[in-house]
């Protein structure tokens, strides 16, 4: 039975990784700050201590993408995503080294507001604290795996989809439920996303081989199609659209108000621009066949 160390085991993706691995007969040791895990450690502050080695390490722990309100919150991205990764690697050096290491990264490393089918060869241009922390953590992992002859896999993920998803998707579902969600300028902008359970399946397949991969559902739904499917599944009215000129005015007001404003020109640009990523590498090499996010919402409770 293959032994796996899974960090971030109590997180949204971590829970799905753990369930998938255990159901497929992997021997999983979980690590997180929660007492529910096998190894309890805040790796942003301490090096974990392991009494045994592992065949595979899946590093899914990290501070999720959010907009920091101050320097303390900005520093937290470094502490969790970079220092935490470094502490994990140093802890693994004290035990027998794994054969494989999988790092859960993000498409945020590309630093793009818009783009079409961006592939893994694109430059890493992120300037925000989250994106920079993920770039730094990727490099730590790549260097460490190279030095220790460990097979290295990096998965760059877009918006994750699943039941009770956090972040922007969770906010959209909540807003549709309460009847105050509106598409902007028709909601025609397309975004890449992927179902968490498909990431879990692919992780187990790719770990013995290594490489850097974007993962998406391949459909890249628009806000309009996504909100329509969610509204239908919740028996809610179809969301209306706010004219672009009105939102643009609100953006200018937000620019004037600063960080306190819920919307500004940059946020509007992100919402109204297409940003999709190419996952043909995963599809061609490993026959990655994820479920469409829209089909998933039609068949599952959100």
Residue with tokens 């692919």, as numbered in its chain: 202
- CA–CA gap between residue 201 and residue 207 (Å, rounded): 11
**pLDDT per position as a tens digit, 60-82:** 999 987 766 677 778 899 999 99
Listed in sequence order, the residues at least 6 apart from 213 whose beta carbon sits closer than 8 Å to its beta carbon are 120, 153, 154, 155, 156, 202, 206, 279, 281, 282
Residue with tokens 């993000």, as numbered in its chain: 106
pLDDT at 13: 96
Q: Is residue 6 a contact partner of residue 60, using CB atoms and an 8 Å limit?
A: yes
Q: Is residue 194 a contact partner of residue 215, using CB atoms and an 8 Å limit?
A: yes
- CA–CA gap between residue 31 and residue 276 (Å, rounded): 32
pLDDT at 74: 82
**pLDDT per position as a tens digit, 207-251:** 999 999 999 999 999 999 999 999 999 999 999 998 888 888 888
**Residue 241 vs residue 88, higher pLDDT:** 88
Q: Is the pTM of this model over 0.85?
A: yes
Q: Is residue 202 a contact partner of residue 282, using CB atoms and an 8 Å limit?
A: yes
- CA–CA gap between residue 147 and residue 135 (Å, rounded): 18
**Residue 254 vs residue 16, higher pLDDT:** 16
pLDDT, averaged across the chain: 93
**pLDDT per position as a tens digit, 128-140:** 999 999 999 999 9
- CA–CA gap between residue 80 and residue 75 (Å, rounded): 9
């Amino acid at each position: 039975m293959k032994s796996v160390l899974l960090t971030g085991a109590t997180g949204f993706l971590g829970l799905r990784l753990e369930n998938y691995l255990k159901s497929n007969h992997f021997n999983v040791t979980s690590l997180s700050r929660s007492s529910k895990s096998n190894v309890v450690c805040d790796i942003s502050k301490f090096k974990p201590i392991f009494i045994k080695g592992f065949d595979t390490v899946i590093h899914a722990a990290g501070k999720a993408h959010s907009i920091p309100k101050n320097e303390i919150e900005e520093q937290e991205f470094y502490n969790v995503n970079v220092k935490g990764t470094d502490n994990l690697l140093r802890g693994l050096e004290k035990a027998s080294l794994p054969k494989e290491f999988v790092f859960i990264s993000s498409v945020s490393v590309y630093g793009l507001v818009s783009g079409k089918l961006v592939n893994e060869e694109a430059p890493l241009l992120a300037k925000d604290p989250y994106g920079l922390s993920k770039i730094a953590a990727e490099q730590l992992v790549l260097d460490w795996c190279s030095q220790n002859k460990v097979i290295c896999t990096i998965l760059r993920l877009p918006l994750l989809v699943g039941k009770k998803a956090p972040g922007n998707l969770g906010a959209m579902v909540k807003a549709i439920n309460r009847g105050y969600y509106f598409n902007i300028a028709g909601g025609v902008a397309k975004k890449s996303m992927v179902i968490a359970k498909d990431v879990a399946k692919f992780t187990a397949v790719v770990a013995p081989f290594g490489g850097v991969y974007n993962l998406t559902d391949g459909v890249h739904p628009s806000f309009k199609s996504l909100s329509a499917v969610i509204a239908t599944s919740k028996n809610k009215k179809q969301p209306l659209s706010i004219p672009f000129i009105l939102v643009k005015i609100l953006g200018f007001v937000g620019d004037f108000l600063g960080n306190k404003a819920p919307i500004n020109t940059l946020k509007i640009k992100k919402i109204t621009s297409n940003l999709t990523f190419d996952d043909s590498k995963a599809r061609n090499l490993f026959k990655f066949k994820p479920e469409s996010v829209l089909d998933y919402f039609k068949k599952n409770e959100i």
